[in-house]
Amino acid sequence: MLNQAPSPASRTDAATARSILKNTFGYDEFRGFQAEVIEHVSAGGDALVLMPTGGGKSLTYQIPAMLRAGVGVVVSPLIALMQDQVMALTEAGVRAAFLNSSMSSADAAAVERQMRAGQLDLVYIAPERLMNERCQRLLGDVAQGVGLALFAIDEAHCVSQWGHDFRPEYGQLAILRERFASVPRIALTATADVPTREEIAERLLHEPRMFVASFDRPNIRYRIIEKREAREQLLRFVRDEHPGDAGIVYCLARNTVDEVSAFLSSHGISALPYHAGMDSAARAANQNAFLQEDGRVMVATIAFGMGIDKPDVRFVAHLDMPKSIEGYFQETGRAGRDGAPADAWMTYGLADVVQQRRLIDMSEAHALYKRLSGAKLDSMLGLAEAADCRRARLLAYFNEASTPCGNCDNCLTPPERTDATDAARKLLSCIYRCERGSGF
């Protein structure tokens, strides 16, 4: 275990944090519990931060890294995301860099020299690189020299074996707690149910303080409709309610992505495909077009979206039911980050459930994982089948109480209720007669 001297307390006062907020990042006031997290981590405590997309998670580790002595290390899973964040920080005058597989060995060596010399406030590193022997030696040198300010683990839900986006390399990050016990760690995510939160805390942190923001996104209207002709239903939705708007359409299969993208394009919608089966250059080009141009619609698998920072996405549509409420919440949360009204729209049919259940049954995972995955799918099915407020259902899943929102489809147009007592009685009678007739 490597130890280092704690940062001087004089650098962690609230006035300095507020000065950085104003002069570096251009904000007048902290939002929600940002100031509390910054104070806690700056003083050396571990923290688990759950905050919806667009809620300002990044500041809760960027400012402590600038307040504390040494280099702050940010674990980030996506190369494009870390490059964008470093560019924005550099433009704001923050000493930031990244280490990832896209760099030449000479450029990587230059960043390593800057780290050892204490010339950087923040360094973004992919988890698989952080775990290699060279990088572990680098961290040891920095800890013994200029010091490590903190470790920030973004998208921390990826550590959970039972979560919706498990990544094995995240599980290895537990070594940071063992080797650098005196360095504060902050784990951040936009979505995690209670078991996932507990696993994050157990594997990555030490006696963390938990900061959980409201999961409510009041500007998003949730709507789920019966799937009939899904592509035609989608086209009508986009044409009638979001002409010329930026949006994301999620599909389960790659071939569906290609087909839906071509279908929308043939009807005058500026659509682009994105999935892992495409050439990386084509994926990057489509992502850049979506981010930089107005009115683009990205049709994608769940490979698209993590770290995407586009405030004016006016809708997120699902043509297939997601496998969990966590996934649904994270994906729909990419709409309306600017606070303006946005739609979360989904077509749903029982075939979706059958398909998802088949994927679970056919997987090579062990029985416990299959059982938990089935439970998550059942919760998602419950949301899709709900006759009451969808927002209240969604928030209840994350242990947050709510009253009916008055804005989702069920609140605006309550489903008709039918007395099916007679039909049920006849069905049971039929089953009884069939069983007697067959000798069961």
Pairwise CA distance, residues 201 & 209, whole Å: 9
The residues, any chain, with a CB within 8 Å of residue 185's CB and separated by 6 or more, are: 46, 47, 150, 151, 152, 153, 176, 177, 204, 205, 206, 208
The tokens describing 281, both together, are: 């250059």
Predicted confidence at residue 12, as pLDDT, reads 46
Pairwise CA distance, residues 157 & 139, whole Å: 24
Predicted confidence at residue 158, as pLDDT, reads 87
Predicted confidence at residue 6, as pLDDT, reads 46
Contact 42, 67 (CB under 8 A): yes
Contact 274, 300 (CB under 8 A): yes
Predicted confidence at residue 2, as pLDDT, reads 56
| 260-295: pLDDT as tens digits | 999 999 999 999 999 999 998 999 899 999 999 999
Contact 330, 190 (CB under 8 A): yes
Pairwise CA distance, residues 74 & 121, whole Å: 11
Q: Where in the chain is the domain with CATH 3.40.50.300?
A: 9-212, 220-412
| Torsion angles phi and psi, residue 244, rounded to 5 | 75, 5
Predicted confidence at residue 341, as pLDDT, reads 97
The answer to whether domain 9-212 has CATH 3.40.50.300 is: yes
Q: What share of the chain is helix, strand, coil (3-state, %, to 5)?
A: 45, 15, 40
Predicted confidence at residue 332, as pLDDT, reads 95
Predicted confidence at residue 7, as pLDDT, reads 45
- DSSP-derived letter for residue 163 is S
Predicted confidence at residue 420, as pLDDT, reads 57
Give the class (CATH, top level) of 220-412.
alpha beta
Predicted confidence at residue 8, as pLDDT, reads 45
Pairwise CA distance, residues 266 & 392, whole Å: 38
| Torsion angles phi and psi, residue 418, rounded to 5 | -120, 135
Beta strands at 297-300 and 220-226: parallel, antiparallel or unpaired = unpaired
Q: For residue 4, what are the CA distances in angstroms to 39, 180, 208?
A: 20, 9, 20
Most distant CA pair in the chain, distance: 85
The DSSP secondary structure of 330-385, one letter per residue, reads: HHHTTS-TTSS-EEEEEEE-HHHHHHHHHHHHHS---HHHHHHHHHHHHHHHHHHH
Q: What is the pTM of this model?
A: 0.80
Predicted confidence at residue 236, as pLDDT, reads 98
Predicted confidence at residue 440, as pLDDT, reads 44
Residues of the chain where predicted confidence (pLDDT) is lower than 50 = 5-12, 438, 440
